[in-house]
Amino acid sequence: MKSALIVNGLSLSVPSSRGRVTVVDDISFDIPAGSKVGLVGESGSGKSLTAYSLMRLIKDPVRIDKGEIFVGGKEILGMNMKEFRHMRGNDISMIYQDPMSALNPIMRIGAQIIESIQLHTEVIHSQARKIAIELLASVGIPEPDRRIDSYPFEMSGGMLQRVVIAIALSGEPKVLIADEATTALDVTTQARVLTLIDKLAAERGLSVLLITHDLGVAAQFSDEIMVMYSGKLVERGLVNQIFSNPVHPYTKALLNSRCDYTIDVTKPINSIAGQPPRPDNRPEGCVFSPRCAHVQPQCREGVPPLISVQDRLSACFRAEELFEVGMVK
């Protein structure tokens, strides 16, 4: 299957007292055309930095040290910004985490959508307004011909997130990045927004990268899940593979520490021992080894590569062994 997005060997760094420190470490992945892929991990694992790299929104002091990013077969890191601005919004677009921060509070929402439409297409204002009303209707905004003249403060969080989705779709992109797009919403609104993105992806043939720290959200939405820890991809597989029998101890620990209706409320909630390492204080060998219940001497000596294990990818020396025994409780 053709890939809509390909990332090869992407590394990012930030300055520290010890010099530059790698925060996203040589990651590679692809998103097949028309598929939905979830990227999960604890806060600080590098998920959002990866997303902002795909949109070329990385600025000093953060720096892209190496790597390639292909969108629709075109390598974007080698482009000058004028070239890439023609692709941003048209070929790849993003739904941002906080709609109140993404929208200008003193501009009517219609003006903001129209501005985006005219940035990507050569239409006059009246035509752009008509398209904006149609976009608002497509994302489920009631009375779009009236709501188009509302200010952001006159709308609820769920409605504002729909407006942000409308802006992201205004250039008819093929790749859509949703960066923690439901984090600030209540559970009911969260489900509605995910259902909306799913519906729009199917109707428009979008390839979607969903970035979230919530495994339940990723499972509800995604075809595949990628797990990230301390700047590295540690596992990738189909949703049913990841949830039924993960082959990386970090993925297992995430699953066993989740809180949902299936947990035994008479017992203490599981947690992952310790804390993720600071980028400037990562351990030798496997970055998860200090917190891993399955650690072996070799884990502290060498860095496990991301390799194919039982039809999925895992960066663990003991992946085959752990697959055989099954790790999820």
pLDDT per residue as tens digits for the range 189-205 = 788 888 889 999 999 99
Tokens of 216: 């339940």
pLDDT at 306 over 50: yes
Using alpha carbons, select from 32, 29, 26, 108 the residue that is nearest to residue 65. Answer: 26
pLDDT at position 18:
77
Whether the model clears a pTM of 0.95, i.e. scores above it, the answer is no
Give me the mean pLDDT over the 116-144 stretch. Answer: 92
Q: What is the largest CA-CA distance in the chain?
A: 68
For residue 40, give the nearest of 206, 248, 274, 192 by alpha carbon. Answer: 248
pLDDT at 311: 87
pLDDT, residue 28, reads 96
C-beta of residue 38 within 8 angstroms of C-beta of residue 251:
no
Residue 329: its pLDDT value, please? 47
Closest CA to 209 of 1, 39, 10: 39
pLDDT digits (tens, 9 = 90+) for 275-296: 889 888 899 999 999 999 889 9
- 19-78 pLDDT, tens digit per residue, is 899 999 999 999 999 999 999 988 889 999 999 999 999 998 999 999 999 999 999 999
Q: Per the structure block, which two tokens stand in for 174?
A: 């093929």
Q: What is the mean pLDDT of the chain?
A: 89
What sign for the dihedral angle of Cα 136, 182, 215, 229? positive
Q: Taking residues 116-129, what's their average pLDDT?
A: 91
- Look at residue 319 and tell me whether its pLDDT is greater than 60: yes
CA-to-CA separations, 53 to 10, 85, 177, 315, in angstroms, rounded: 9, 14, 11, 23
The secondary structure element, H or E, covering residue 191 is helix 187-204
The pLDDT tens digits of the residues spanning 221-265 come to 999 999 999 999 999 999 999 988 899 999 998 888 877 666 666
Instruction: Look at residue 327 in the predicted model and tell me its pLDDT.
Output: 53
Separation of alpha carbons 97 and 164, rounded Å: 10
